[in-house]
Structure 1
Amino acid sequence: MRNRLLITAAVMTAVSGVCSPAAFADTPAGDQDTAFVQAAHQSNLAEIAAGQDAQKSAMTACVKDVGAKLVTDHQKLDADLKALAGKSGMTLPTEPTAEQQQKMKAVQEKAGTAGYDAAWLADQEAGHTKTLALIGQQIKAGTDEAVTATAEKARPVVAMHLEMVRGGTCHTM
């Protein structure tokens, strides 16, 4: 039963688009906890880059402000993940997934136009929705208490970010 849950979790995570196959490359088969840490780290890297880009490319103050909030919060979340990975001997990817990079590039192509903010908000809504699903899966199926505690700590932050971009409308908190 446990193996079936772990396999289901890995498949759901991979299908969600948050994890690329590369996120599982260094992961022992069925290791939900390592897969979560790697995927969450890549999501943090993507959010930090997106937030930095919004601060320089967004047309509205709200999107710039939300971008700054994402940078600050995801740097803190990622520091926790890096510490956890270091203690556990996990290898972390060095960049966002290819899919995350491609989406970022598509948004960046709209820099300096009215379409940038809308594209950025839509991308952030999709990304944070996927990350919440990833967190939920870790909380449900994870076996490492420290990794699951890190996921639980991240959940309200990611949920707040989702509310800030939900529906393609910018909301500062």
Structure 2
Amino acid sequence: MLRRINGTAAILVAIAATIGVLIYPIWTYEDRSGTGVANLNASTVNTKWGPLSALDRDFLVKVRLAGLWELPAGRQAMERAPTQAIRDAGDHLIVGHADLDRRVRDIAGKLGVELPNEPTEQQKGWLREMDEAQGEEYQRKFANLLRMAHGKVFGVIGQVRHNTRNTLVRDMADAANVTVLDHITMLENTGMVDFETIAAEEADANTVSPSGPPPPDGGPIASPVPVEPPPGLNVTSLPSAAPQTTAPGDDPGDGSAGNNGQGDGQAGGAGDEPAPGAGAPAGAAP
């Protein structure tokens, strides 16, 4: 009797193992219901410019919303103009978001994405905060509210540019990337951006432990090997980043190096050559 029970149990175990082997490939298939790929496909529609995902559509809406509150903020800055740097930042906001809005309305029309016609309640609240502020408080609210908003959308642009399979959305992300970085730069040129608060807020929002090299301990470190083209390779393109104005190893506080971009008013002052994006954002259509 005991042998019969053991034999039956062995048969049942073998049957269960066989069923498990057959079911496992189906269960682990990445496109099954509830997986990221399945969710992506469920929210994606096909267009002649490529698949259009929910993230793509959300990005187009965010670009439109940004213009709906940041363009009025820029106009207010130019009207109140407490400093030339604030006025310059306002000028860039107006020109940049007018261009992005033209682009996003055209792209959304082609892709069939409905866009809002007024800012969110939070964005309206930011505009009210600036309306009610005076003097230096106004300058700080203008610089920090807008810098924080631009910083957050900057991350969204990178995610969309990396993930999108739609050529129109990819073009929109390219234009937004250039314009938003220009606006971030102009806002920081006001000297009113509170980087400590920005870093603290982002740290509170991010619970993942940072990775990377350990903190410096004051001891000697090995010199990194330069990244250079292989010998004999005939490269002809130029770096897309602007050349350094401060040589490596110079003390930026001694005023002797990199002075061309600091003491001669090239940070966006009146009468100087405009920073990239002034008048028309880099990459903007003629």
Q: Report TM bin, short chain.
A: 0.7 to 0.9
Q: 1:40 aligns with which of 63, 73, 96?
A: 63
Kindly indicate whether the alpha-carbon contact (under 8 Å) linking 2:64 and 2:116 is maintained by their aligned counterparts in 1: yes
Deviations 1:63-119 (A, max 9, x none): 1121012101110111000000111111100112211111121121114x2211111
Deviations 1:112-152 (A, max 9, x none): x2211111011111011012112112112223221122111
Kindly indicate whether the alpha-carbon contact (under 8 Å) linking 2:89 and 2:186 is maintained by their aligned counterparts in 1: yes
Q: Alpha carbons of 1:41 and 1:7: their partners in 2 closer, same or farther (altered >3 Å)?
A: farther
Q: 2:120 aligns with which of 97, 111, 116?
A: 97
Cross-structure match for 1:25:
none
Residue 158 of structure 1 pairs with residue 190 of structure 2: no
Kindly indicate whether the alpha-carbon contact (under 8 Å) linking 1:55 and 1:68 is maintained by their aligned counterparts in 2: yes
Kindly indicate whether the alpha-carbon contact (under 8 Å) linking 1:55 and 1:63 is maintained by their aligned counterparts in 2: yes
State the number of aligned residues: 151
Map 1:49-128; keep pairs closer than 5 Å: 49-111=72-134, 113-128=135-150
Identity of aligned residues (%): 25
Q: Give the structure-2-normalised TM-score.
A: 0.49
Kindly indicate whether the alpha-carbon contact (under 8 Å) linking 2:85 and 2:190 is maintained by their aligned counterparts in 1: no
Bigger proportion of residues as helix = 1
Q: By how many angstroms is 1:168 displaced?
A: 5.8
Q: Alpha carbons of 1:161 and 1:38: their partners in 2 closer, same or farther (altered >3 Å)?
A: same
Cross-structure match for 1:19:
none
DSSP 3-state at the match of 2:114:
coil
Kindly indicate whether the alpha-carbon contact (under 8 Å) linking 2:130 and 2:138 is maintained by their aligned counterparts in 1: yes
Greater relative contact order (Cα 8 A, min sep 6): structure 1 or 2? 1
Q: Alpha carbons of 1:130 and 1:64: their partners in 2 closer, same or farther (altered >3 Å)?
A: same
Kindly indicate whether the alpha-carbon contact (under 8 Å) linking 1:50 and 1:67 is maintained by their aligned counterparts in 2: yes
Cross-structure match for 1:4:
36
RMSD of aligned Cα (Å): 2.4
Kindly indicate whether the alpha-carbon contact (under 8 Å) linking 2:85 and 2:189 is maintained by their aligned counterparts in 1: no
* Structure 1 gap ranges (5+): 9-29
* Structure 2 gap ranges (5+): 1-29, 41-52, 193-266, 269-274, 276-286
Q: By how many angstroms is 1:38 displaced?
A: 0.6
Residue 137 of structure 1 pairs with residue 169 of structure 2: no
Cross-structure match for 1:146:
168
Deviations 1:3-33 (A, max 9, x none): 627979xxxxxxxxxxxxxxxxxxxxx6111
Partner Cα separation in structure 2 for residue 167 and residue 64 of structure 1: 11
Q: Alpha carbons of 1:86 and 1:6: their partners in 2 closer, same or farther (altered >3 Å)?
A: farther
Cross-structure match for 1:18:
none
Structure 1 stretches of 4+ moved >6 Å? 5-8
Kindly indicate whether the alpha-carbon contact (under 8 Å) linking 1:58 and 1:117 is maintained by their aligned counterparts in 2: no
Partner Cα separation in structure 2 for residue 6 and residue 134 of structure 1: 22
